[in-house]
Structure 1
Amino acid sequence: MSKKHIYMISGMGADERVFRRLTFPEGYDVHYLPWINPLGNDEPIGEYAARLARRILHPNPVLLGLSFGGMMSIEIAKQLPVEKVIIVSSVKHKQELPPYYNGMARMLLRNLPDRLLFGNRQHIVRLFMQSGSEEEVQLLKDYMQKKDFRYMRWALATVLSWENEWVPPSMVHIHGSSDRPFPRRYVKPTHTIVKGGHFMVMNRAPEISRIIERELA
């Protein structure tokens, strides 16, 4: 039997290490799609997704996206056939974005200088990511050492202004009941991890892995 393929997209500015505690069913090869630089501050998410999708080398893959990577997985699924889309700690369409991700937030993002927007972000990131173990804290420290603020501004603006209304027919949405960036009261996932936070891909990995295995069986 020929192998199937899973392509993973991490959260905003993160890398493949956030997925390292997940396990996958036999018969699947796992690949990671790293983030690429946007073409300018206003590149539409659909055009960015099309460029990212060129790195997918196998037909009809499973897409697994975390947080902003979940939104990107949906945008890629608009442009090429996929077996299934699995999103974790993410949203499916614009109605699931919190109401405070609005025009005022976009205006602040546009007008705040880098030193104010990113200067003290460690406090906000730790609050939202709900990290616990030393391994998780170290990953966040590595993330916060990145200075590619151009990408971060583009990604934040893209999340705040996401206008998607299309949901893939083969959608699996795994969400934590205690998620802070995308509070559970605004989303309707297919699977809820009780007391799971935004970093549950690491600290609740066995439960998420079991859901993925059932969905891909």
Structure 2
Amino acid sequence: MNNKHIYLISGLGADERVFSRLEFPAGYDVHFLPWIQPLNAAEPIGEYAMRMARRILHPNPVMLGLSFGGMMSIEIARHIPVEKVILLSSVKRRQELPPYYNSVARMLLHRLPDRLLFRRRQYIVRLFMQSKSEEERALLRDYMTKKDFSYMRWALDAILQWQNEWVPSSLLHIHGSSDRPFPRRYVQPTHTIVNGGHFMVMNRAAEINRILEREL
């Protein structure tokens, strides 16, 4: 029997290390799908997703996306057949975004210079990510050394103006009740991790793994 394939997409600016504590049932080959550079600041998320999808080498994969990676997994599922989409700490449609992700936030994103928007972002990142261990904090410190602000601006703009209403028929949505970027009161997940924060992919991985074992 041939193995199935699962593709992982990290959150904004992160890499495959955030998935280091996830475990998948036997019979799955795991692949990390890295972010690519947007063609320009105004590239539509759908066109970006088509370019990402060209790097998927196996038919009918399972897509697993963390945070913005979950949104991207849904966009990819518009363009290629997938077996299942799994969201971790993410949202699946526009109304699950908090109301302050709006045109005012987008205006500030476009008007504020890099030095104000990103160079002191460590305070916001630490507040939102809810890291607990030294390993998690080290990953965040590494993330904050990245200087590719053009990608960050594109990604944040894509989140703020996401208008999706389409949800794949086979979708698993795991969310933390204490998530700060995407508060649970706006989200309707299939599974809730009690007191889980936005970094639960690492610090609540055992509970996530049990859900994956049952659902895959």
- Tell me whether the two structures share a fold, i.e. TM-score over 0.5: yes
**How big is the alpha-carbon RMSD for the aligned residues of Structure 1 and Structure 2?**
0.4
Task: Describe the SS at the equivalent of 1:85.
Answer: strand
Counterpart of 2:72 in structure 1 is 72
Deviation, 1:86, is: 0.1
- 1:98-117 maps to which residues of 2 (within 5 A)? 98-117=98-117
CA distance in structure 2 between the partners assigned to 1:18 and 1:88 by the alignment: 12
CA distance in structure 2 between the partners assigned to 1:42 and 1:163 by the alignment: 15
Deviation, 1:213, is: 1.4
CA distance in structure 2 between the partners assigned to 1:155 and 1:47 by the alignment: 13
For residues 109-150 of structure 1, what are the alpha-carbon distances to aligned partners after superposition, in whole Å with 9 as ceiling and x for unaligned? 000000000111000000000001000000000000000000
Amino acid at match of 2:193: I
Counterpart of 2:49 in structure 1 is 49
For residues 43-82 of structure 1, what are the alpha-carbon distances to aligned partners after superposition, in whole Å with 9 as ceiling and x for unaligned? 0000000000001000000000000000000000001000
Structure 2 portions without partners, runs of 5+: none
| Runs of 4+ with deviation above 3 angstroms | none
Counterpart of 1:36 in structure 2 is 36
Counterpart of 1:125 in structure 2 is 125
Counterpart of 2:5 in structure 1 is 5
Counterpart of 1:141 in structure 2 is 141
Counterpart of 2:211 in structure 1 is 211
Deviation, 1:212, is: 1.1
Counterpart of 2:192 in structure 1 is 192
What percentage of aligned pairs have identical amino acids?
78
Deviation, 1:192, is: 0.0
Most deviating of 149-158 and 204-213:
204-213
Amino acid at match of 1:47: E
Deviation, 1:202, is: 0.1
Deviation, 1:200, is: 0.1
For residues 144-167 of structure 1, what are the alpha-carbon distances to aligned partners after superposition, in whole Å with 9 as ceiling and x for unaligned? 000000000000000000010000
Give aligned pairs, total: 216
CA distance in structure 1 between the partners assigned to 2:38 and 2:24 by the alignment: 31
CA distance in structure 2 between the partners assigned to 1:156 and 1:79 by the alignment: 22
1:61 corresponds to 2:69: no
TM-score by length of 1: 0.99
CA distance in structure 2 between the partners assigned to 1:96 and 1:80 by the alignment: 24
Structure 1 portions without partners, runs of 5+: none
For residues 170-200 of structure 1, what are the alpha-carbon distances to aligned partners after superposition, in whole Å with 9 as ceiling and x for unaligned? 0100000000000000000000000000000
CA distance in structure 1 between the partners assigned to 2:119 and 2:129 by the alignment: 17
Most deviating of 85-94 and 207-216:
207-216
Amino acid at match of 1:168: P
CA distance in structure 2 between the partners assigned to 1:145 and 1:132 by the alignment: 20
